[in-house]
Amino acid sequence: MPERALPAQEPRHRHAFAPLPPLREGSAGAGGDAGRHARQEDEDRLWQPDPLLRAGPLSPGHRRAHGAEGGQRGRRAGRGPGSLHRGVLAADRRRPGVAMDDENRLIAQRKQKIQAIRDAGLNPYANDFPVSLEDMRRVGELDPETLSGEADLPEGAREFRVGGRVMALARFGKAAFALVRQQGHEVQLFLKRDLLGEGFKAFKKIERGDFVAAVGPAFVTRQGKVAVRAREFRILTMAVRSLPEKWHGLKDPELRYRQRHVDLVATDGVAEVFRTRARVVAHLRRYLDERGFVEVETPMMHQVVGGAAARPFLTHHNALDLDLKLRIAPELYLKRLVVGGLERVYEIGRCFRNEGLSRMHNPEFTMLEFYMGYATYTDLMALTEDLISGLVTDLQGEPRLTYQGQQVDLSTPWPRLTVVEATKAGLSLAAQEQGFAAPTDDDLRSGESLGAYVARQRLTEREEALAQLWKACAGWGERLAALFETFGEERLPADRPVFVVDYPSAVSPLSRRKDDNPELVDRFELFVVGREIANAFSELNDPEDQRRRFRAQLEARDRGAEETMDYDEDYCRALEVGMPPTAGEGIGVDRLTMLLCDQPSIRDVILFPLLRPEGAQQPGKQEARR
């Protein structure tokens, strides 16, 4: 079935995306320092594709480290220091772009060191000493078991040009070890005074956090580790501000999010999360590209909000004197493209919803939406299984993951439950926990019977969340959806992904009704560990029914529903041009990344999550007026 529905396209298609040929030597050096580039061997070209850079599975140990870290943060919640007004790390956030008054002893000492380097005739911000990432990797791949010891190194042994940020320093009087890191690769340098001579004086000024480079052969230390014995040593860049403590790293969540650059350097595993996120996005893109989907970019500034139920951000275009809203979803534009003949189309991009923040919600978030002509929501379930289990296998080496201690088996096919089944199961579990009567099939049959059941069991008194929803609910579909959200979602099986199918048409204004039951639509949502990861349906392409659904949204708004869709007549007109039978799906990229990186908060997978501005105007310490 998947094979029929989702054929990978012919090679012809892939050729259209073949990588550009490498730049030629002359072009890159034009107008610049030709000697700088001439020094490197061809294989070391900075811009060349790297045959060694393969996307392998994450090591299990690495993932465990993430989990432990997340747990520790959880336990420490609320205990971290919050003041941000005096620290080395905090100070320049208070006055970005303004002369600092946060000189402290550490910074003054660093500046003195930088001056001392200048006084010695050296450049503390040098860029004339190339280092080879290729060499970094090669040193990293050397096996201490087979590498000959120091005494065995022949004269003229292979030398490596390595360098990066100093992450650890162990100094002795006349020798030292420095662990340097570049692009995730770490190499240990061994520096001896009698080998370096004058260069050792420069080394004396180095601290953790500075960038250095060295050239020399590799050897095995007495501790059995590979290191590069520096024959030549250079300072590349000196840092003015010191890094957080190496052992504890940066714990204060606010500092971590506000100064992600420091977090990335200092907190173990953070850089890896964002490298993995990039691989997730690349995988999604590659998967869709290979199957003939066209990537597009549709407007983010909308005049009519649609495609989801959410409140938008408002903005304004001056020249047109036009009020605009940041998009809450690209859906209606993408389907216009299906009408236009881009029958496999997708967009990966930011959406904006003007709502509260939580561990699961950031006001701007990244969504993949794709539409597939001549397909149904059933086809998309198969595609989703294939896509996500393949992604997990690519990253983990097997279709299995652990999220916050919960093991999830992603081997396909995944179980499917109807909304009615999931609601009944959830209510039955809740009934056992809380001592009320489980619903019968008759209770779930109509809006009236649901209302009677909820009243009889006093469910709105038990669940404040339901009470909120219930007020704006009318009819079977809305009431069932409210009960599913309150009682069903969080009680779904957690050890497997679950497709919840057959949503009520009343809560699915853009979905196609089921042929055998117009109260239901051809729609599913994918839940993993009780979290909604994807939402998909066969698209409604009957323009008259679409108009009725939009009108129903307006009626719901009048009843007090806060988040409803605008009536989009232009979209209905597009449907009148004719949209082929189509299925579409949205996948929350941030939430998917949370699962794959075992991160507890959406803020841990967004580089710069929205934070309140630092508006603390302190009386007596007012900033200069401008």
Q: Report the site for RNA in 44-73 (rule: CB under 7 A).
A: none
Residue from 45, 185, 201, 208 binding RNA (CB under 7 A): 208
Token representation of residue 205: 């000024």
Q: Minimum Å distance from CB 342 to RNA?
A: 23
Q: How far is the CB of 225 from RNA (least distance, A)?
A: 4
Candidates 95, 185, 201, 246; binder of RNA (CB under 7 A) is 246
Record the tokens describing residue 82, joined without a space. Answer: 């919050």
Give the C-alpha separation, 458 to 434, whole Å: 11
Q: Which of residues 362-391 bind RNA (CB under 7 A)?
A: 362-363, 365, 367
Q: Does the footprint of RNA cover residue 618 (CB under 7 A)?
A: yes
Binding residues for RNA, how many (CB under 7 A)?
101
Q: Please, which residue, 67 or 244, has the CB nearer to RNA?
A: 244
Report residue 543: phi and psi, to 5°.
Answer: -60, -35
- Is the Cβ of residue 5 or residue 66 nearer to RNA in the bound state? 66
| Min separation Cβ 15 and RNA, Å | 35
CB atoms within 10 A of CB 487: 25
Q: Of residues 245, 495, 555, 570, which one binds RNA by CB under 7 A?
A: 245
Closest approach of Cβ 55 to RNA, in Å? 25
- Decide if residue 100 touches RNA (CB under 7 A): no
The separation between the first and the last C-alpha atoms of the chain, rounded to the nearest angstrom, is 67
Site for RNA in 3-42 (CB under 7 A): none
Binding positions for RNA, 176-195, rule CB under 7 A:
177, 188, 190, 192-194
Stretch in the footprint of RNA (CB under 7 A) among 56-64, 74-82, 408-416, 542-550: 74-82
Q: How far apart are CA 325 and CA 110, in angstroms?
A: 48
At 609 the three-state DSSP class reads: coil
The CA distance from 16 to 10, in Å, is 11
Give the torsion sign (CA, 19, 22, 27, 29).
positive
Distance CA 203, CA 120 (A): 12
Q: Does 228 bind RNA (CB under 7 A)?
A: no
Residue numbers 273-292 binding RNA by CB under 7 A: none
Binding residue for RNA, selected from 336, 353, 523, 549, defined by CB under 7 A: 353
CB closer to RNA, 5 vs 380:
380
Per CB under 7 A, the segment of 20-28, 219-227, 287-295, 448-456 that binds RNA is: 219-227
Long-range CB pairs of 72-75 (<8 Å, 24+ gap) are 73/251, 73/253, 73/600, 74/600
Question: What binding mask, one character per residue, do residues 581-610 give for RNA by CB under 7 A, x or -?
Answer: -----x-x-xx---------xxx-------
The length of the chain, given as a count of residues: 626
Minimal distance, residue 163 CB to RNA, in Å: 17
* Closer residue to RNA (CB): 49 or 224: 224
Residue among 5, 6, 58, 84 that touches RNA (CB under 7 A):
84
Shortest Cβ 312–RNA spacing (Å): 11
Instruction: Report the residue number, 453 or 484, with the smaller CB distance to RNA.
Output: 484
Residue 159 in the binding site for RNA (CB under 7 A): no
Return all residues near 344 (Cβ < 8 A) that are at least 6 apart.
288, 291, 292, 293, 294, 370, 371, 372, 373
Closest approach of RNA to the CB of residue 64, in Å: 17
Query: Where is 286: in which H helix or E strand?
Result: helix 270-290
CA distances from 188 to 10, 162, 482 (A): 47, 9, 58
Question: Based on CB atoms, which residue is closest to RNA, 9 or 406?
Answer: 406
Phi, psi of 295 (to 5 degrees): -85, 130
The residue from 62, 64, 85, 456 that contacts RNA (CB under 7 A) is 85
Q: Which of 418, 417, 487, 493 is nearest to 450 (CA)?
A: 487
Q: Phi then psi for 10, rounded to 5 degrees? A: -65, 160
Residues near 91 by beta carbon (within 8 Å), at least 6 away in sequence:
85, 100, 102
Nearest C-alpha neighbor of 281 from the set 336, 350, 338: 350
Whole-angstrom Cα distance, residue 428 to residue 416? 18
154 binds RNA (CB under 7 A): no
CB of 43 to RNA, least distance (A): 28
Q: Which of residues 476-535 bind RNA (CB under 7 A)?
A: 485, 525, 532-533, 535
Instruction: Between 239 and 338, name the residue whose CB sits nearer to RNA.
Output: 239
How wide is the angle at C-alpha 558 spanned by C-alphas 557 and 563, nearest 5°? 15
Cis peptide before 413 (omega within 30 of 0): yes
Question: Which residues are within 8 A (CB) of 136 and not within 5 positions of it... i.e. 6 or more apart?
Answer: 160, 162, 164, 182, 183, 185, 187
Which of 9, 59, 358, 517 lies at the binding interface for RNA (CB under 7 A)? 358
d(CA 210, CA 202): 12
Contact pick of 65, 142, 360, 474 for RNA (by CB under 7 A): 360
Q: Which of these ranges, 13-21, 25-33, 308-316, 542-550, lies near RNA under the rule CB under 7 A?
A: 308-316
* Nearest approach, Cβ of residue 386 and RNA (Å): 20
Helix 475-483 and helix 464-471: axis angle, to 10°? 160
Q: Which of residues 544-573 bind RNA (CB under 7 A)?
A: 562-563
Please identify, among the stretches 31-39, 422-430, 463-471, 549-557, the one whose residues bind RNA according to the rule CB under 7 A.
463-471
The count of other CB atoms within 10 Å of the CB of residue 620 is 4
Site membership for RNA, residue 244 (CB under 7 A): yes
